[in-house]
Every structure is written in C-alpha cells, then in structure tokens.
Amino acid sequence: MMTRYLLVDRPTTPYYVIKGRSKGPIVLVTAGIHGTEIAGVLAAEQLRHIQLKRGTLIIVPIVNVRAYRQRARGNPDLNRTFPHRSSDRPKIRLSRNLFALAHHFQPTWCIDLHEANGLYLLDNTKLGQTLIVYPNQETYRTAKKIIVGINHTITKGTRKFSVKQGKLRGSFRTAVGSVLGSHAITVETSMQQPRAVRVKDQVRIVHALLREIGLI
C-alpha cells in the first residue's frame, strides 16, 4: 500500500493506493466529502487494509479534512462543486484536486460513501439505505446484484437497501460518471441506524462490489 497526498490542500488529504498481483479494474473509494458523515470515514479506514488479487484500489478516507475536524457538512458544500460537463471546471481547490486524482487514475468504478436521514422504503423522498447509481445499465445491474446478499442479512424490511439511478449537478458521482465515464455509485446508509451498523454495511457493500468485479 502506498500513501500519497492531494497536493496543495491544507490540511493535507491523504489517499492510499493498493495494487493486486495482476492488472484489473481500477476502483476509487471516497468518503468524508461531508464532514458530518462519520461512518463512511471509519469504513474507508478499514478498507485500507484489504488484500487484492488483481486490479487497483485507491481510497481517500477523508476527502474534506477541515470539515471532518469541525464535524460540519462543509461550506461550500463540496458535493456541489464538481464539473457537470468536460468543459466545466471544479469550483474550489479541493474539488479540483480530487477530480484531478480521479482523472489521473481513470477509475473503472467509483464508490462514494455517504450517510443520509430517513429510510427510503418508508419515505421515498429520503435517501437513507440507498445505492444511487449514475445512470448506466451495467452499473445498475451490478448494484442490484451486490445488495442481494446485504439485504438477506437485514431482518427489518424497512432497513433493507434499494437501488435508484440519478444525476445531481455538482456531485462527485455525476462528475466521474459524466466526464470520466466511470461506473459511479453513491452509498447512502441511514443515520437512523447505529453507527456500527452503518460502518459494517458500507464495508460489506464495497467488499461485495470488489468480489463481483474480481479484485478480491
């Protein structure tokens, strides 16, 4: 595992590059874009120690270090500052640096770990317990497949995960999906779940994806 840093950010933002024994898909996992969403950061830190049989995994456990230290969402909201089209520029330095990292590695898949209020199966205006994919048939099919095993272990129906497709202007998911052509998924665990459960589910979802595409 190699430790690197997004350049010129203060405080510095570390990221980690893990390589398998042979070539394969490149997967980028990000967390901490919003500083109040702690479970994603803890999950990403656990994922740093994974062993790959092939491919490359890049993990940015705390994208917005300043917001995370303040336990604030971030001002401006970092997840509204990424490019929507190839002709756009990210709006602030941190989004420019993260998008430059993604552009450099050209990830096949990008998984952005988040948390949301509510439970989607109780109220479809809420995003808790969803995987939101940038519209693409293969991405959608894969996301549906990987939550089957996750949902099988969740006894309460309203806590099960759903998959939906969507674009959100300025979001990292939409930027890497639209501009880079990556398979992009936002994981939204519900803040109505205990933190330990949220962390566990996020780790399991990433593991399931890595197994599905053959990295582990």
pLDDT value of position 5:
73
pLDDT value of position 37:
98
Domain 2-212: give its CATH superfamily.
Zn peptidases (3.40.630.10)
DSSP 139-181: HHHHHHHHHHHHHHT--SGGGS-EEEE---TT-HHHHHHHTS-
pLDDT value of position 7:
54
Element (H, E) at 71: none
What count of other Cβ atoms lies within 10 Å of the Cβ of residue 156?
8
d(CA 203, CA 211): 12
Burial of 42 (0-12, 13-18, 19+ CB in 10 A): buried
Residue pLDDT, tens place only, 75-126: 999 999 999 988 898 999 999 999 999 999 999 999 999 999 999 999 999 9
d(CA 60, CA 65): 11
Q: Is the pLDDT of residue 10 over 90?
A: no
The stretch 150-179 carries a mean pLDDT of 97
Q: Is the peptide bond before 61 cis (omega within 30 degrees of 0)?
A: no
